[in-house]
Structure 1
């Protein structure tokens, strides 16, 4: 069996360094927090099988996706791009996929509560499970989990840290205001 070659790159942004992982079908992961050395290997083996290998971006189909994502993320961080279009290769349970689809529908510059997302997917009592699925989101910003807040309007957990979540929401709020 041939290896599935995945590419990674570090993206430097005003929010701190981000790490991207892509395969030939699309982006697989985008994180702000530093990954443990074996974290991506374990993730890739879980969702893609033992033949997945991760190498630094260079040349190949996944590299064009990484380059597109970095260009989009630079524009996004500058407040100039509201809709990210790089192809995604989402891996998750059916429930996670439903939550992520609902989160992706939250417009730029707006927020929703975990309860609103749970209700949107037809599971209004699954607020905690919705929060867990949101927390398992592998594609921060592309699946804008930072737009999901507590029912009381408070900022809740964010993998990149609450400081980055607040900065992302503030940037989107400013950029979405009429000029």
Structure 2
């Protein structure tokens, strides 16, 4: 099994503005891929993942006859993902991950990881700010509900700045 993550990064639709080396690489890749299909004893499966199926070259799509659309996680799944991400972090006992999961509709697992990282950085920034004012041995405070909500709000703003969520509604076979 050959799995290519972010397949759109090098197999996007060909255009006249492609660099010559890029065009040659795409042609060579597709030629080699075709060779796999001609050998009946070959048991190679090529799989690719992308968040941008509309950017893939049509010749690549023909070589990948089966497509799957993986939906964004549900609220329950987001809560489970948050628990996994935060299991080894210092989190305030009052944090309600169910509420955070409800507030993060449309977030991927990667988005949730980034959101949690941003929330943790808020705690670190507070610690650094407080340390510069005193000689205190105070520890970094646990991640709180407000930290997660602020990080989620920041993520929502950056996600909406990228335009409408075309992929969430893409009709895939």
TM-score (norm 1): 0.22
Which structure: greater strand fraction? Answer: 1
Which structure: greater helix fraction? Answer: 2
Larger Rg: 2
